[in-house]
Structure 1
């Protein structure tokens, strides 16, 4: 955004904070300081001399150049390590999420069935598009606003149906903005998905939102909380499974696989395979061709997760053996197929086979370019290949790194 040259550093911080919908307390907490400290900085009562604190403020405000905050643009650019990957869809999504209206502009005839249909189509696009973040990201701002408006405009059973759709909207927002959204927005999105599902009082929607919350917790280094959330959701859903729709069992199975990966990353071998076995049993109880619409739980995804669990447990030989027995084409999700090949590449790297790792990473990128470019584990593999590739493969490894967006400078 354009800021007047007459603004002081404190005034710039205030304008940037307010434009992002952040409270003073939230921004101060992200910097490890109190609200009163930030108030004095913004008012000019206190001068901000610490370069470290300037960097923290810039990162929290998602500002790439310190000159935007200091107003001193007569020297070399001072870039800010944001720790997240930029995506052009984020500003519009941020605005829709963080600056939502408190009043409804929805027509009185808002139809939750039509809204849910749009959400389902968006999930389908997420799983089938090579450029899923870009294409889904373009749809999300209007979808978020329409879902929020529908919930405010409706009542009774129609409102509960709209709440389920709203929860679903925030779940796919969490998926599409993973690793590119500022941390505070990721938490807001996950919490709104869960709150809407609980307001609807629909067990399957609550379980799906908990699965999403578990993703956020696990990726922000709270594995114990992630496990607690998905286990509680599974227990909530369990009494309803007899005679329940297939998708209710599907999300129950997805919760088991989520737990399997969570504990595998903690090195808990026995627990990881026990959770995986539970997911496997759920898949066996469903039709062979069943696929959950958002989590893609089903026979193929259970088998794909076995590779992930083995890789996270650093059992490379087992992971690669399991991968050899898979038919990737049985998985309808392009996004999930790309992530499978990233896991296989990790397994090859664990064994020191850079040639095979590079080959399957190239396959992963061909299948889902944005899945690879915006997933930290994939970027880590690409960077490792660039560093460790022999001279004969250096050019190919460099080309992959550039495609993924990893610096080779």
Structure 2
């Protein structure tokens, strides 16, 4: 999509107006994307009102189909501030796109469908790969196309309890697809994958699978600047599964706890401190009810992840001192997920940046990249920290900051 080339001397409000008009969008239509009225947008465009909300800026960028937030804010063009529209390139994406968007309607092949138990085993194994690999998007992405096709074929060919089990496996496969393609998938694929995961779980009438699919959908809603909808989805899912918890398997409680942590981060990003810690406390209570070594296979909910989320909540609430204090008490190695460990260090780096300690933030981001290279390269928050460091690292650290920015793909150099 063509971006107007006359934005350089414009303030953010004027940029929004020019971009809106270039897209042929009316002021009421664009304002509706932000759940605001046209008068609100008129004041933004005229400069009468300052746009400070990152969530609202992201919604406008998404609605205007901008690949980078700097086109709205006027930040340095060479520093990436990616909008989650699936504009980050990854070689695994074309084959996954074909498997998802070109699924056949015919019955399974003559040699018969893969047994549901085998499908579920492959899905579980691929989830383990997602959490253990330093290059998890590449390795999992290479396996997903065949896994998607096999799961779809099994659902079409089977009936009764066998089909129900295949539907649960299919839901798991699509949830994993959502994780592996976050920030690299076009928006339409992200929504298709989330919907198919939830639809398959509902067709199986499997409460735990429904709740896990809702957790996945909540991730997409939150990361595409719809936090209210994300909170509604995960709290409704928690309400659905809560009546079954007393006698339910451990993994049902695990996904229930994951929903609470999801809600905690969602409201923390909105500055709702009391609600954030209330949801976190619910997750903490669930973890206490489970064995100390318990880890949910896909969400990695457990004692360590609850503690990791406390750091995220404090960071999102701009409570850097508390976040760093909490991080000091964590042993990262107790977390079996490499991907989650890398994201913890990104949160710690954010906390150091909030305190103005760029030297510590750079050191921590180097650790995060060493643990999970693709987690850092394909997660907007990690890219944002890397860009900040590249732009303003202390003179003595500029070479290291530039090297990190290059390998993450911020500066466009290898």
Normalising by the smaller structure, the TM-score range is 0.7 to 0.9
- The yes-or-no answer on 1:91 pairing with 2:72 is no
Shift, 1:145, TM fit: 0.4
Deviation at 1:83, TM superposition (A): 6.5
Partner of 2:116: 112
Instruction: Tell me how far 1:391 sits from its aligned partner.
Output: 1.1
Q: In structure 2, do the counterparts of structure 1 residues 83 and 122 end up closer, same or farther at CA, with 3 Å as the change threshold?
A: closer
After superposition, residues 334-353 of structure 1 pair within 5 angstroms as: 334-353=338-357
2:262, 2:141 → 1: CA distance?
A: 24
Contact 1:115-1:162 within 8 A present in 2 as well: yes
Contact 1:279 1:302 in 2 (8 A): yes
> TM-score, length-normalised on structure 1?
0.80
Q: 1:32 to 1:214 in 2, by over 3 A?
A: farther
Residue 181 of structure 1: aligned partner:
185
Any idea what the Cα deviations from partners look like across 1:181-214, whole Å, max 9, x if unmatched? 0011000000000000000000000000000000
User: Which residue number corresponds to residue 101 of structure 1?
Assistant: 104
Task: Identify the residue that residue 4 of structure 1 maps to in structure 2.
Answer: none
Give the Cα–Cα distance (whole angstroms) in 1 for the partners of residues 260 and 350 of structure 2: 23
Supply the distance in 1 between the matched residues of 2:214 and 2:266 (Cα, whole angstroms): 14
Q: Residue 172 of structure 2 aligns with which residue? A: 168
Count the aligned residue pairs: 339
Structure 1 residue 273 corresponds to structure 2 residue 269? no
Q: Which of 262, 265, 287 is the equivalent residue of 1:261? A: 265
1:139-150 alignment, distance < 5 Å = 139-150=143-154
SS at match of 1:293: coil
* Cα shift readout 1:5-43 (whole Å, capped 9, x = no counterpart): xxxxxxxxxxxxxxxxxxxxxxxxxx6689xxxxxxxxx
> For the residues of structure 1 that align with 2:326 and 2:114, how far apart are their CA atoms?
48
1:194 equivalenced with 2:198 (yes/no): yes
Distance 2:138 2:117 in 1: 25
**Larger C-alpha radius of gyration, 1 or 2?**
1
> What is the alpha-carbon distance in structure 1 between the residues aligned to residue 288 and residue 256 of structure 2?
13
* Cα distance between partner residues in 2 of 1:344 and 1:281: 24
Instruction: Name 1:316's counterpart in structure 2.
Output: 320
Note if 1:124 corresponds to 2:128.
Answer: yes
Q: Where does the alignment leave 5 or more consecutive residues of structure 1 unmatched? A: 1-30, 35-55, 63-80
- Tell me how far 1:94 sits from its aligned partner: 0.3
Find the partner of 2:371 among 367, 372, 376.
367
1:242 is aligned to 2:246: yes
Are 1:354 and 2:367 counterparts?
Answer: no
Q: Deviations over 1:367-400 (max 9, x none)?
A: 0000000000000000000111111110000001
Aligned match of 1:332 = 336
Deviation digits for residues 310-336 of structure 1 (CA, Å, limit 9, x no counterpart): 000000000000000000000000000
Q: Deviations over 1:199-242 (max 9, x none)?
A: 00000000000000000110111111100000000000001111
**Partner-residue secondary structure (3-state), 1:91:** helix
Look up the SS of the partner of 2:271 in the other structure: coil
SS in structure 2 opposite 1:397? helix
Change (3 A) 1:33 1:165: farther
- Structure 1 distance, partners of 2:86, 2:93, is 15
Q: Which is bigger in relative contact order (C-alpha 8 A, separation at least 6)?
A: 2
Asked if 1:307 is matched to 2:317, the reply is no
> Shift of the alpha carbon at 1:84?
2.1
Quick check: 1:345–1:381 contact (8 Å CA) kept in 2?
yes
Determine the C-alpha separation between the residues in 1 that align with 2:242 and 2:321. 35
TM-score, normalisation: structure 2: 0.79
CA RMSD for the aligned pairs?
2.0
Q: CA deviation at 1:101?
A: 0.5
